[in-house]
Amino acid sequence: MNGVPYWLIKNSWGQRWGDNGYFKTEYGKNMCGIATCASYSIVA
């Protein structure tokens, strides 16, 4: 992203989506609510 800090986020839709299942969003800008509403699963 040309020197812009970013989050690299894994998507749950599989490797065919985005960049092998990942996408980038700008760090520190709360894009898509990532800074305030991130979630993850716990596998037990």
Q: Would the pLDDT of 1 be above 70? A: no
Mean pLDDT of the chain, nearest integer: 83
DSSP conformation letters of 1-41: -TT--EEEEE-SS-TTSTBTTEEEEETTTTGGGTTTS----
Q: Work out the average pLDDT over 6-15.
A: 86
Q: Which fold has domain 1-44?
A: OB fold (Dihydrolipoamide Acetyltransferase, E2P) (2.40.50)
pLDDT tens digits, one per residue of 23-32: 888 888 877 7
- Give the highest mean pLDDT range of 15-19, 29-33, 34-38: 15-19
